[in-house]
Amino acid sequence: MKCPFCGYKEDKVVDSRATQDEIAIRRRRECLRCGKRFTTYEYIEDVSLMVIKKDGQRQAFDRKKILAGIMRACEKRPVSMDKMEEIVTQVERAIQKKPDREVSSSRIGELVMEKLKAIDDVAYVRFASVYRQFKDVSQFMAELKDMLNKEKKAHR
């Protein structure tokens, strides 16, 4: 750390404590050359996730967008707001565990569908119909048949 008074690069930390909002560490330092004290703040670097859209555009990850999609899929379904928020948090955590700072929108969609399928079949089908952009009823029916076949196998 460079002293703001004399420019010397050696100092000692006299006191460290969290700020009131606990988003930073406040450090009191003393220059080893001139003896003057100064304060520095240490913050966690917020590295934002970038989403790569189907058309190749990149935009910042926005959990509100995911929540809005889940809310539309769960409309008039017995899925609590807490559960919807939990899905978004689980998806966000799964993405953040990866070392890459970029994720495809298709990966996000797959994660959301996986979570919805586990809690509500109707919400899953609603989300899948928008996400997979079914062109006609036959694609929609194929998805439903696949889901029903998997359910039958699970009950055997």
* Sheet strands side by side (includes 102-104): 58-60, 50-52, 102-104
- Interstrand relation of 58-60 and 50-52 (parallel, antiparallel or unpaired): antiparallel
On the question of pLDDT at 146 being above 90, the answer is no
Q: What is the pLDDT of residues 93-122, one digit of tens each?
A: 888 888 888 999 989 999 999 999 899 988
pTM for the predicted model, two decimal places:
0.61
Give the model's confidence band at 131: pLDDT under 50 very low, under 70 low, under 90 confident, else very high.
Answer: confident
Q: What is the pLDDT of residues 25-57, one digit of tens each?
A: 999 999 999 999 999 998 766 567 899 998 999
Q: Could you tell me the two tokens for 93?
A: 């955590």
Contacts of 9 (CB under 8 A, 6+ apart): 1, 2, 3
CA atoms of 130 and 55, how far apart (whole Å) = 16
Would you state the pLDDT for residue 77?
Answer: 95
Could you tell me the residue ranges of all domains in the chain? Answer: 11-43, 50-155
On the question of pLDDT at 7 being above 90, the answer is yes
CA atoms of 151 and 156, how far apart (whole Å) = 9
